[in-house]
Each structure stands twice: as structure tokens, then as C-alpha cells.
Amino acid sequence: MKRSEAREQAFILIFEKGFRDDSVAEIIEAAVLARQLEENAFMHQLAEGTFEHIDEIDALIEKNCIGWKKDRISRVALAILRLCCFELKFCPDIPVGVSIDQAVELAKKYATPDDASYINGVLGSVSRTEELEKQ
């Protein structure tokens, strides 16, 4: 499985978690049984890592969503933002441009064109903010 495919599967799991109180492990187990999800270490890292750091990630999103509250963001866009923010903050081996590009591609596939532009803007702001904090 390519990393982009594993990332897409992680996004779907993160999106599902937004509707369920089950643990990420339980959601993955159900997805394996229900839709023959092909498990992958990178997918696990992204999905589980996102929810291990969800409070920090959501605070980062809130801080960079100028003029918006997190509650106003669609669930699809929020899942994409959460996934990418996890990558930007906790996966230094993934280039920033790759993470943002993949997030925008997911938005183009699963959300609206406006969501894709919005996600790109928020993630650009997050990447600049995080870069300043690393210096």
C-alpha cells in the first residue's frame, strides 16, 4: 500500500471516529471486518497518533482558523485538518509540502472546492506558525 493510500485510510478512520465513541483500535478492527481494510503501520501511526494528541491538534486548528470556530468546520474538513496537523507537528520525516498537498487532494476528493481552498489556507498558517515555534 502506498503512503497516500494509507493516509486516505487514516483520514476515513479519523472521520469515522468523529461519529463514534469507540477507540481507534476498535474502529480499525470493525473496518477490517466490515470492508476488508488492509492494515498498514503508517495508517495506524496516523490514525492513532492523531487521537493521542487530539487536544493539542484541535488547539492548533482553532488558533489558525481565523474568523472561524472549530464547530463551524465540516466534519470532512476537520478530519483532514486533524490528520495533516498531526503530520506537521509529529512526523518530522514527512515534508511539509507533501503533507499539505496530500490534505488538499483528500479535500478535492471528499469535500468541496471551497473546503480544499480553506484547508490549504489553514494548513499554510499552521506550517508557518509551527516553523516559527521550532526556531
So where are the chain's domains? Answer: 3-134
Cα separation of the two ends of the chain: 35
Amino acid at 130: E
What pLDDT score does 133 carry? 60
What pLDDT score does 135 carry? 46
At 21 the three-state DSSP class reads coil
What pLDDT score does 134 carry? 55
Q: How far is CA 57 from CA 10, 22, 29, 33, 40, in A?
A: 16, 19, 24, 29, 23
The CATH classification of domain 3-134, taken from the options 3.40.50.740, 1.10.940.10, 3.40.50.300, 3.40.50.2030: 1.10.940.10
Query: DSSP class of residue 72?
Result: G
User: Would you write out the chain's pLDDT as a tens digit for each of its 135 residues?
Assistant: 899 999 999 999 999 998 888 888 888 888 888 887 788 899 889 999 999 999 999 999 999 987 667 678 899 999 999 999 999 999 999 999 999 999 999 999 999 888 899 999 999 999 998 775 654
Q: Which set of grid coordinates corresponds to residue 125?
A: 498558517
What pLDDT score does 31 carry? 85
Burial 77-114 (b: 16+ CB within 10 A, else e): bbbbbbbbbbbbbbbeebebeebbebbbebbeebbeee
Distance CA 39, CA 29 (A): 9
Query: DSSP class of residue 119?
Result: H
